[in-house]
Amino acid sequence: MGIDIVGSDRNRLILGGTRENIAHFGLSGEVKLNNIRDIKNQDDVAIIDLPYNLCSVITPKEKAEMLQSACRFARKVVVVSVEPIDEILIDVGFCIIDRAVVKKGSFTREVIICK
């Protein structure tokens, strides 16, 4: 497909699940331990699956910092969240251009596309 996938997380426990998710869709890519603040390259799209505060606990300020980092290195950002996030997205400078709600059993996530 011509898609270069580079995944990362600052929590080592998440990396295996990230690899599984990529493979589930028949894709492959590099997944490594890295903090979003340290990403230097420019990308077309970033997919940010915000922590659910189960394995990785972060504050609202840290969420805003993650999203600001994505705004710096990606032209478009897809954000996946289990809680309302619009206010933070707008505060960090994103324009929300589309969204969908995805349900799996009782688990609901919102997928938000931003520019």
DSSP secondary structure code for residue 1 in this structure: -
pLDDT digits (tens, 9 = 90+) for 67-82: 999 989 999 999 999 8
pLDDT digits (tens, 9 = 90+) for 74-106: 999 999 998 899 999 999 999 999 999 999 888
What residue segments make up the domains of the chain, in order of their start? 1-34, 42-114
Chain mean position to CA 108? 16
Looking at 3.40.50.150, 3.40.50.720, 3.30.56.10, 3.40.50.300, the CATH number of the domain 42-114 comes to 3.40.50.150
Q: What's the confidence (pLDDT) of residue 51?
A: 78
Q: Which two tokens stand for residue 1?
A: 């497909």
Nearest CA among 32, 60, 36, 31 for reference residue 46: 36
pLDDT digits (tens, 9 = 90+) for 15-33: 998 899 889 889 999 999 9
